[in-house]
Amino acid sequence: MAATERTLVLLKPDAVARGLTGRLVQRFEDAGLKIVGLKMKHMDADFTRKHYFDLEERFGKGVYDATATYMQQGPVIALLLEGVDAVANVRRMIGTTFPAQAAPGTIRGDFAHMSKTYAEGTGKAIANLVHASGSVDEAKYEAQLWFADEEQFDYQTLAERYVF
């Protein structure tokens, strides 16, 4: 059965530096996802390790180090979003990890184009604008990592109050 879930989105340093915050947040609001947490943060090395705790295991030290440098280049904006099957729906909206393969209409497909081959050749991280939790378990871990209980909100949107 479809469930209401909460999922973490990060607008990564390239998205913030490019001034895309408003447009990217708008996409999630337009889709009817509810913002239940919001903050800006400059990640440090320890926090990056906690957020990407299995990245080195999955891709090796080179990718981890490049990604950690990328994520600490500037502040990020963290959003906790709520909606029906929010984890899968938000992943669908951001597109696949490598922008060169991300479908047009997705955030990564519309606002970036870098390929995995280029990133590997240059030793750069894939600057792909956004992070979103990859599974329901990851979402639960990331929600509590990024937002204290009192930073996670409950309220009714107008649609919930008048439409559903």
Residues that bind Mg ion (CB under 5 A): 134
Query: Smallest gap, in angstroms, from Cβ of residue 83 to ligand UDP?
Result: 19
* Contact between 5 and 80 (Cβ < 8 Å): no
134 binds ligand UDP, rule: CB under 6 A: yes
Q: Which of 131, 139, 142, 146 binds ligand UDP (CB under 6 A)?
A: 131
Is the CB of residue 45 less than 8 Å from the CB of residue 70?
Answer: no
CA-to-CA dists, residue 108 to 29, 87, 91, 97, 133, angstroms: 17, 16, 11, 8, 15
| Active-site choice (42, 51, 113, 131) | 131
What 8-state DSSP symbol labels residue 7? E
What would the x/- binding string for ligand UDP be over residues 80 to 99, using CB under 6 A? -----------------x--
Of 56 and 157, the one with the shorter C-beta distance to Mg ion is 56
Which of 4, 41, 42, 59 touches ligand UDP by CB under 6 A?
A: 59
Choice between 49 and 157, CB closer to Mg ion: 49
Q: Which residue has the tokens 């922008």?
A: 99
131 is catalytic: yes
118 binds ligand UDP (CB under 6 A): no
> Which of 16, 93, 125, 129 forms a contact with ligand UDP (CB under 6 A)?
125
Q: Which residues pair with 132 in a beta bridge?
A: 9
Q: Which is nearer to ligand UDP, 55 or 157 (CB)?
A: 55
DSSP state of 32: T
Which residues make beta-bridge pairs with 77?
Answer: 11, 40
φ and ψ of 107, to 5 deg:
-60, -50
Cβ-contact 90, 132 below 8 angstroms? yes
Given the rule CB under 6 A, which residues bind ligand UDP? Answer: 55, 59, 63, 66-67, 97, 116, 119, 125-126, 128, 131, 134
Catalytically active residues, by annotation: 131
